[in-house]
Amino acid sequence: MTKRFDGTRDLRRAVDRLARRLPEPLEDLAWISYNYLWSWTPGGVELFTTIDDHRFKLAGENPVRFLLNLPERDLLRAATDETYLELLHHVAQRMEADLARPTTRVLPSGPVAFFCAEFAVHQSLPVYSGGLGVLAGDYLKETSDQALDVVGVGLLYRRGYLHQRMDLSGWQHEYWVEANTGQLPIVRVRGGDGLPVKVKVPVWDSELSAQVWRVNVGRTTLFLLDTELKENTPLERWVTSRLYEGSHDIRLAQYALLGIGGVRALDAMGIHPGLFHMNEGHPALASLEIASQTAAELSGERPALTALLAQGRDRFAFTTHTPVPAGNETYSSDEFFRVLGHSIDEMGIAREELAALTRIDEGSTSEPMGFSPLAIKCSRSTNAVSRRHGEVARGMWNPLFPERSESDVPITYVTNGVHLPTWMNPTMRGLLSKVLGHDWERHADDPSLWSHVDEISDIDLWNARCQMRVALVEMIRDRIVVDRLARGEDVDLAVSGLEAFDPMNLTVGFARRLATYKRLDLLFRDVNRLRDIVDHDQGAQFIIAGKAHPLDNEAKTVAKNMFSVQRSMDLPNRVIFLEDYDMRVAPALVSGCDVWLNLPRPPMEASGTSGMKAAMNGGLNLSVLDGWWSEGYNGQNGWAIDGTTLDDPQAQDERDANALYDLLENEVKPMFFSRDSNGIPVVWLSRIRASLRSLAPMYSSARMLEDYTNRIYRPHPEK
Ligand SMILES: *Cc1c(COP(=O)(O)O)cnc(C)c1O
């Protein structure tokens, strides 16, 4: 066995360094802080919030930064507090036991390496933008829970994704905040010589150097590549500055670093994966690196690239997340080779041969180059992320398999799921523990377990729902005043936000990327009907949140229109926009809303996951039958809007908006406000039980990961 330099030693050093700053009884906090397992272990968050809730928030909920900046007296107080020490002992023991379990190998040939452009592990590690990242973060946590040998590979964007500020007109402005890597719960990986492990990838006319950071996500390790090095030019350092950079040049450099650099980094650390799982097309160039390694091992004449890729195919699986051709990024061959020509040449790959593999029509010279066709061609398995998305993807990629009929296109699906311990509110977890039994989370994907939700009493379930709604309303009141003051609203209007929302009214949430296909504008299509839905003592109230990509002016315009409709309605505290949607606010939203809206233009929602999070918390989905909802909806567990498509998008929007208003007026509101003599909405609660029973076991990451291991990772998956 060659010795591994994978950051284990570096992590131990960092933990020791932090431990030395802590009073002896608190030493366990050091290693706990360097493993994100705390964030989903019961009691983990309280370890920090009970010392100083406010300071923990100011530290971005990053425990390392929090502890490094905490006044000595607070540490000493905790170190002599018996109750606190008991909690610490309890959490430490639970985490230790989890980490001590034996690992299960997925494949005999080596670990699964999961490559993704973004990971949403926790709000304190801002290397994510939205759904794809949350899925990747949830996936890593689940691999830890199931004790599988998986490593994650991504990029450390020092400025992460954009922060959002709206101006008075409702126009979005962006700003970025640079992370201080010295205070993040991550460590630089060093080799046997004590120097940072580095990899090189030729980009533009020179060579990009990158170092590697290690993050512990429970038992699973995530490696992040970073170009912030002295030997790099300012342009090269910018490569890992921001996620989903608008510039094509920068993106291509990022994807080369992720795909090619990621494989080289694993090699340099002595990690030899049995399988590379490319989550979305961004890391597809990894296949080229493996092909050129294969070529280097062969003697004699070098085989063609297709032959080399065919040899490596058994080591690649690809998950596509994009149901529309436009969502699959493509580049002109000029752009592509201007940035990556050197890399390709250095790997001994003929440029035309590669270009053909990135095209649907391999004979074309004008078709732009795409990562998805390459990823499909070099993987032994391709999967979409919901049943409906599978159908759409087979249609979309049929031209890659001209000899096959659409239903025979070799693209299967694994529907997304969410990590229940991350997304289920502690109130809900506590309630369920009473009826599902001890340690139920370990077999949360067992449908028979969930029949026990019928044993929860009406009053307990209703109380839990109210408690989560009240917590959401408190958060909204806190933030809305500041949001309004910051964008220069009238002080009176800003302060009136303290009365925003009635904690007992029907609370409807819509929070997701502001992309036009998500059709937030449907809600604002008929102001009179919307007004009628909200303007009552027993009315609905809407909380809306989401960011637009900086270059997406169309989406920004939707947000701006929403602001002006909202102003014209003159009901500023009934329909509220919460700025800067991210993982800090998402948990309160998905747990506190009674109804979770999703209005995608079908079939453009590959899966969607926020509705799954709402369902886990007893929220009810009202969604277009697209993505996951077209398989999740069963007639009793929420509400559905027709998912068929019309040729005329205007007519479709009209039809779907009317369906939305009809449902809210005629079904959702009356059911929510229909109460028994104790004030309890019994029919509503039975719908929540139906939702939990049918959705919680199916749409957990536990089920998703089992699908991946059984059907995708283990050789010869069925179609
Ligand atoms: C879950 C989540 C998403 C994904 O939501 P969709 O329903 O897939 O659009 C995006 N952003 C954050 C912060 C999330 O928590």
- Could you tell me the pLDDT band of residue 708, with boundaries at 50, 70 and 90? very high
Angular region, 170: left φ>0, alpha ψ -120 to 50, beta rest: left
Q: Going along 504-574, which residue ranges are E strands?
A: 506-511, 540-545
How far are the Cα atoms of 112, 121, 418, 582 from residue 125, in angstroms, in the given order?
23, 7, 19, 12
pLDDT at 300: 85
Q: Whose CA is nearest to atom 11 of ligand 1?
A: 130
Calculate how far, in angstroms, residue 123's C-alpha sits from the geometric centre of ligand 1: 13
pLDDT at 719: 40
Atom of ligand 1 nearest to the CA of 512: 9
pLDDT at 323: 86
- Could you tell me the pLDDT band of residue 718, with boundaries at 50, 70 and 90? very low
Distance CA 688, CA 685 (A): 5
| Mean pLDDT, residues 329-343 taken together | 94
Cα–chain center distance at 352: 36
Atom of ligand 1 nearest to the CA of 627: 8
How far are the Cα atoms of 136, 162, 283, 421, 444 from residue 128, in angstroms, in the given order?
9, 10, 16, 19, 27
- Could you tell me the pLDDT band of residue 491, with boundaries at 50, 70 and 90? very high
Instruction: Give the pair of three-digit tokens for residue 588.
Output: 């309160």
Share of the chain above pLDDT 90, in %: 93
Tell me the helix, strand and coil percentages in the chain, rounded to 5: 50, 15, 35
User: What is the model's pTM?
Assistant: 0.97
- Could you tell me the pLDDT band of residue 109, with boundaries at 50, 70 and 90? very high
Q: Whose CA is nearest to atom 9 of ligand 1?
A: 512
Q: What is the DSSP letter of 325?
A: G
Q: Whose CA is nearest to atom 5 of ligand 1?
A: 610
pLDDT at 437: 87
- Could you tell me the pLDDT band of residue 652, with boundaries at 50, 70 and 90? very high
Distance CA 142, CA 292 (A): 33
Please calculate the CA angle 473-593-584 and round it to the nearest 5 degrees: 70
pLDDT at 165: 96
* pLDDT tens by residue, 182-230: 999 999 999 999 999 999 999 999 999 999 999 999 999 999 999 999 9
How far are the Cα atoms of 203, 259, 287, 295, 343 from residue 349, in angstroms, in the given order?
15, 16, 12, 10, 9
**pLDDT of 716 strictly over 70:** no
Amino acid at residue number 392: V
**pLDDT of 1 strictly over 90:** no
- Could you tell me the pLDDT band of residue 301, with boundaries at 50, 70 and 90? confident
Please report the domains of the chain, with CATH numbers, ordered by start residue: 8-99 (no CATH), 112-416+707-713 (3.40.50.2000), 420-699 (3.40.50.2000)
pLDDT at 570: 85
Amino acid at residue number 524: F
Calculate how far, in angstroms, residue 40's C-alpha sits from the geometric centre of ligand 1: 18
How far are the Cα atoms of 41, 97, 123 from residue 145, in angstroms, in the given order?
11, 12, 20
Calculate how far, in angstroms, residue 587's C-alpha sits from the geometric centre of ligand 1: 10
pLDDT at 620: 98
Mean pLDDT, the chain, integer = 95
Q: Is the CB of 608 under 6 A from ligand 1?
A: yes
Calculate how far, in angstroms, residue 609's C-alpha sits from the geometric centre of ligand 1: 6
CB 358 within 8 A of CB 373: yes
Instruction: Give the pair of three-digit tokens for residue 212.
Output: 């590697």
- Could you tell me the pLDDT band of residue 442, with boundaries at 50, 70 and 90? confident
450-456: Cβ within 8 A, 24+ apart: 450/692, 450/693, 450/696, 450/697, 451/693, 453/689, 453/692, 453/693, 454/689, 454/693, 456/431, 456/432, 456/689
**Probe residue for ligand 1, chosen from 512, 513, 514, 629 as the CB with the greatest number of ligand atoms within 8 Å:** 512
pLDDT at 715: 66
* pLDDT tens by residue, 347-356: 999 999 999 9
Amino acid at residue number 362: E
| Mean pLDDT, residues 582-603 taken together | 97
Amino acid at residue number 214: R
* pLDDT tens by residue, 9-38: 999 999 999 999 999 999 999 999 999 999
pLDDT at 3: 67
**pLDDT of 603 strictly over 50:** yes
Q: What is the DSSP string of 347-409?
A: TT--HHHHHHHTSSSTT-SSSPEEHHHHHHHT-SEEEESSHHHHHHHHHHTGGGSTTS-GGGS
Q: Is the CB of 170 under 6 A from ligand 1?
A: no
Distance CA 285, CA 188 (A): 24
**pLDDT of 324 strictly over 90:** no
**pLDDT of 2 strictly over 70:** no
pLDDT at 537: 83
Q: Which residues does 391 contact at the CB level (< 8 Å), separation at least 6? A: 603
